[in-house]
Amino acid sequence: MYDVIIVGAGPAGIFAALELVKNGLKVPRILMLEKGLDVEKRNCPSREAGGGCRYCKPCNALCGWGGAGAFSDGKLTLSAQVGGSLEEYVGEERLAALIREVDEVYLRFGAPEILYGVAQEEEIRQIERRALQAELKLVPIPIRHMGTGRCRDILRRMRDYLLARGVTIRTCRPVAGFIVGDQTVAGVRTVDGEEIAARFVVVAPGREGASWLVGEAARLGLETAINPVDIGVRVEVPAVTMDHLTRVCYESKFIYYSKTFHDKVRTFCMNPYGEVVMENNDGLITVNGHSHAYRKTSNTNFSVLVSKTFTEPFRDPIAYGRYVASLANLLGGGVIVQRLGDLLAGRRSTPERLAKGLVTPTLREATPGDLSLVFPHRHMVAIVEMLQALDRVAPGVCSRYTLLYGVEVKFYSCRLMLTAHLETQVANLFAVGDGAGITRGLAQASASGMVAAREIRKRLEEG
């Protein structure tokens, strides 16, 4: 019998545990269950020389101690304006305070002191003016960049801290479902049939576990709301093309509304001097990008995502995103890469055409192909319009040699009905992080874990 079981050891789950053991108070009995490997054992074969996706189950890039964040470039976007919708539950003022606390914790465990996007006010205003002239909205935010290698070091220190305070951590322990009686959670059941009792359960499955959580919600009769689904491409350009933006903001977040269909398009996860990588989402190969703390490439990559909200009767945006990404897997065996010039000319890219380009792909395993056979016309038009607008802010983005990788999908499209403490309609069952559909990044995911843990701590202390 445990006081608290935390399902998922990504940032939301880790920060829930950190919150429960802090301040020297009586430490509750805490069990953390993670379906992936411990952080030292996580190794993605596709990132080794001569590698390629080995279809690990579960994917080592997405699952394991630290969640997808362990392999990410570790950007903390320190603003309540981006990274999710947690402000709808706690209010913007409280969220801003939570994000400051989250930042302090990361600093305590080894995050670098340098902060982007705060000191160069005049340069930021100049970028903002140029963006407005291109019909783009710049969202200026302070960013702390940890980098992939350093991020894993920080997560390792957090694990050791929790172990030293008596938290039980079990990796390679996937959870099959929740044990519920009289609309109150009583524990969890693992995939191998083990039943573990607990007074409280915090579920933090991350984006990779979002579809599993939706299935459990349906089984338990929990209400869900539909979030927009974000589908798009990973763009790769020479780093010097974006340098005037990245050295000031590190990540420039731009929002655009397409002229043709008025769909919302945004940039996301900009990685200066980084690399494009593959991810295995339960057998579906998608694309992402990282920026390392200790080694650099000559390219910068970022995603351009088209947000689409569905209405009745369709209620499964995750399935829609998986379907679009599966077309790239069907045609290219995984991720497809195409030069922008080839896309606009209506032809597929070939290895010979890529070799004549000015951008050397950092994802060598991507298959040259034609993304127009993958994306709906509406999405393709919005992506091209966004790149044309960005070219006015960063000339060269719309070069014929610019590389587009597809498909990038963000699987956080269904949101459980939650209270202000992030409690579900099942008593004592809390849902946090990206997998619950309420956050979209490290800072807000970490903050959501703190919100749930504080309410649990309060109830434990009240007896």
Per-residue pLDDT at 70: 67
Per-residue pLDDT at 312: 80
Per-residue pLDDT at 335: 97
For each of the chain's 463 residues, which pLDDT tens digit applies? 999 999 999 999 999 999 999 876 677 899 999 999 998 888 877 666 555 677 788 888 788 899 887 666 788 999 998 889 999 999 999 999 999 999 999 999 999 999 988 767 889 999 999 999 999 999 989 999 898 788 889 999 999 999 999 999 999 999 999 999 999 999 999 999 999 999 999 999 988 888 899 899 999 999 988 778 899 999 999 999 999 999 999 999 999 999 999 999 999 999 999 999 998 887 899 999 988 878 899 999 999 999 988 888 887 888 899 999 999 999 999 999 999 999 999 999 999 999 999 999 999 999 999 999 999 999 999 999 999 999 999 999 999 999 999 999 986 657 889 999 999 999 999 999 998 989 988 999 999 999 999 999 999 988 7
Per-residue pLDDT at 198: 98
State the SS3 of the chain.
Answer: CEEEEEECCCHHHHHHHHHHHHHHCCCCCEEEECCCCCHHHCCCHHHCCCCCCCCCCCCCCCCCCCHHHHCCCCEEECCCCCCECCHHHHCHHHHHHHHHHHHHHHHHCCCCCCCECCCCHHHHHHHHHHHHHCCCEECCCCEEECCHHHHHHHHHHHHHHHHHCCCEEECCCCEEEEEEECCEEEEEEECCCCEEEEEEEEECCCHHHHHHHHHHHHHHCCCEEECCEEEEEEEEEEHHHHHHHHHHHCCCCEEEECCCCCCEEEEEEEECCCEEEEEEECCEEEEEEECCCCCCCCEEEEEEEEEECCCCCCCCHHHHHHHHHHHHHHHHCCCEEEEHHHHHHCCCCCHHHHHCCCCCCCCCCCEECCHHHCCCHHHHHHHHHHHHHHHHHCCCCCCCCCEEEEEEEECCCEEECCCCCCECCCECEEECCHHHCCECCHHHHHHHHHHHHHHHHHHHHHC
Per-residue pLDDT at 422: 97
Per-residue pLDDT at 281: 83
**Domain boundaries, given as residue ranges, for the chain:** 2-111+146-225+414-462, 128-140+228-410
CATH of 2-111+146-225+414-462, one of 3.50.50.60, 3.40.1160.10, 3.10.450.50, 3.40.190.10: 3.50.50.60
